[in-house]
Structure 1
């Protein structure tokens, strides 16, 4: 692969991971601010957030496997969140 392709893939993986991180942070805030927060759900979301942080670091380090996983797996999640709801 060319440097430009590698750079574009790394950039898109980073953007996808940042979108997922934002979504998780919003869900954590929403759950924590509810009248009866579910501590287990908050802990699960925080665990997922920790994994995302690790993945962001790996992408920044150029880990090709994590870049691919972010673009494929996390990319599907982002597309599902952004897809218009069926009426």
Structure 2
């Protein structure tokens, strides 16, 4: 029997950035309140922004910062 251990790890955005144009689950933190929410985002190479929402490609509001993203086996495969 093979142990196919699949892990999903939250990665700090300061340590490693996700691949560009790949939807990833992110933790967003509000700059003032400190509240945190999870949302699916896409890192982009925009002129004035780095993140858009995965559902409708809206730019991330400047009041929110991506602090972590969920690295899944699927994302690891896509980034190679």
Asked if these proteins are the same fold (TM beyond 0.5), I'd say no
Larger radius of gyration: 1
Q: TM-score, normalised by structure 2?
A: 0.25
Q: TM-score, normalised by structure 1?
A: 0.24
More helix by share: 1
More strand by share: 2
